[in-house]
Structure 1
Amino acid sequence: MARKAIRDSQKNKQNEDHIQKAFHHLSLACNKDGQMSQAFSLRGQCYNQMGDFQRALFDFSIAIRIAREKDEDPKTLSEYYNYAGVQHYELGQLEEALNHYNLAVNNYQQDGQYFYNRALVKSRLDKVEEAIQDYKKAIDLLGTSEQDSRYQAFFNRGICFRRIGNLERSIDDFKEAIKMRNDKPSAHNNLGLSYFENEEFEEALIHYGKAIGIEPSSVHYNNRGLAYYHFDKLEEAKQDFDLAIEKDPNDPTIYFNRGNVFLNWKPEQQFDLAHQDYDTAISIDPNNAKLWHSKGLAFQGKAELVYKRSERQDLHLIDLAIEMYQKALSIQ
């Protein structure tokens, strides 16, 4: 393990040295001849690799200007527009990124990566239907040698289809993604999510299980716990939520979910345990109305249980339930 870490460290250092040397020579070229678009583009790529997106954008902007002035071929100009779009995207400037990806696509329509990049931006700008069309174009254009990009296009389009409620198409896309990369836990997890939303809980359980087998994360255990909960398999749900909390004790959603399990426990509801989990969730996220409302349900449920057993009202519990509901309403 230590030897591998040393080798990785040495490899990273060598890569950094190569980038620095390339950057030095490209800077000399840019300074010597300020009319070489390729030199500015290559230096921009070095800046990109170094994480300096603002300087990279500056160099790609110069490359674009030179290429336009020299009337360079549309394919080269599109490449520069695409690179500029990537920098805007990394800087969080989504509208500017979209403008540059539009220019890239308009100048050269045979590169699937340009459509893929534009789809990413459109998805983040909530132009989901348009993003789906761009992912389709990307999938059609990306070749078999670009399997990672094709996988990501199917994966992202699956998410887009789920966002617009087209769960069958979403499921189909995640299946295609899994055919290409069966080792990706996120693909199995997202296929599980689409099955879950389509109320196909058994299929959801299968793919959450596969995601856990690859990466036993809190997210995957929590998702499978929810599927068990909707299957009314409360013991299995509790076990998964226990494991999720072990992995991430600071996620209020998991405590909320386990609290709901206790609130619906059979043969008898576990109100005190439900309260403990809701209280923990509230301590992490005190402005979540849903958590306070659930505490109100727990107080109300316990008051009803007391009444069934003794045929008398526990006004204190009823008052507490009302207080929780009022708190939830005040947050909403």
Structure 2
Amino acid sequence: MDKNQLGVQYMQEGNWEEAAKAFNDAIEQNPTDPVAYINFGNVLSAVGDDEKAIKFYQRAIEIDENAAAAYYSIGNVLFSHDLFAEAKHSFEQAMKKGLDSSDTYFMLGLTLLQLDQGKLALPYLQRSVELNENDAEARFQYGLCLAQNELIDEAIIQLEKCIELDPDHSDAYYNLGVSYAFKEDQTQALAMFNKALDIQPDHLLAGHGKKLIEQNF
């Protein structure tokens, strides 16, 4: 097993110190391998040293300007610091460099949502779901985005698929309740709010939704 593979294995085990050593060895063995710099950056980001992580990602890009994963990783760091416009640029760069993954589309879609560009976010979230049909969170965010764009029937389909994948997703049940309330199906809305509260009894929004429905019954 080469040092990069060994480091990834340590990362998967949560052994950051050994992972860092393995990636450091990989860089020493091959200083022009961008993958080792990206991997080392991912370790640094995982332990909270984002500033240093970005330097490693940038070094990977200096070595190979088409290192798409480096742009993606920079985007994640920027997103985590609420630098959404900059994150958007990084995710777009990752796509231009060929990173055609569900995660890239998902993160670009989420970033556009944060920038209040819901209509632009829709196709990216849709593509994310197409590339990974079993990602419950992608389904949820796509459903939310559809609902925000008043595509309620389509939103319900995605939210229902989300709870098929993750039956304990209380926020998906809550948003299904809101969607059914919007369609004036009070019985279904109440059932969804109750389900959200069964899973998460302190779900304030679901509790409020339930109260409103019961007052109008």
* CA RMSD after TM alignment: 3.0
Kindly tell me the number of residue pairs found equivalent between the two proteins. Answer: 215
Asked if residue 225 in structure 1 is aligned to residue 140 in structure 2, the reply is no
Contact 1:241/1:254 (8 A) holds in 2 = yes
Which residue among 184, 194, 201 is the counterpart of 1:279?
A: 194
Q: 1:99 to 1:249 in 2, by over 3 A?
A: closer
Which residue among 93, 99, 104 is the counterpart of 2:15?
A: 93
Asked if residue 158 in structure 1 is aligned to residue 80 in structure 2, the reply is no
Q: 1:91 to 1:237 in 2, by over 3 A?
A: closer
Q: State the partner residue of 1:237.
A: 155
- Which structure 2 residues correspond to residues 183-332 of structure 1 after superposition, within 5 A? 183-217=100-134, 218-246=136-164, 248=165, 250-252=167-169, 253-263=171-181, 265-266=182-183, 268=184, 270-283=185-198, 285-286=199-200, 289-290=202-203, 293-305=204-216
Q: How big is each residue's C-alpha offset from its partner over 1:108-128, in whole Å with a ceiling of 9 and x where there is no partner?
A: 754423321211111111222
Contact 2:69/2:99 (8 A) holds in 1 = no
Give me the TM-score of the superposition, normalised by structure 2.
Answer: 0.80
- How far apart, in 1, do the equivalents of 2:130 and 2:11 lie? 34
Unaligned residue ranges in structure 1 (runs of 5+) = 1-44, 49-79, 145-149, 307-332
Contact 1:271/1:298 (8 A) holds in 2 = no
Asked if residue 125 in structure 1 is aligned to residue 42 in structure 2, the reply is no
Asked if residue 171 in structure 1 is aligned to residue 88 in structure 2, the reply is yes
Amino acid at match of 2:119: E
Moved more, 109-118 or 192-201: 109-118
Amino acid at match of 1:203: L
Contact 2:197/2:206 (8 A) holds in 1 = no
Unaligned residue ranges in structure 2 (runs of 5+) = none
Bigger Rg, which one: 1
Instruction: Give 1:104 shift.
Output: 6.0
Contact 1:155/1:174 (8 A) holds in 2 = yes
Amino acid at match of 2:35: Q
Instruction: Give 1:204 shift.
Output: 0.5
Q: Which structure is richer in relative contact order (CA contacts within 8 A, separation 6 or more)? A: 2
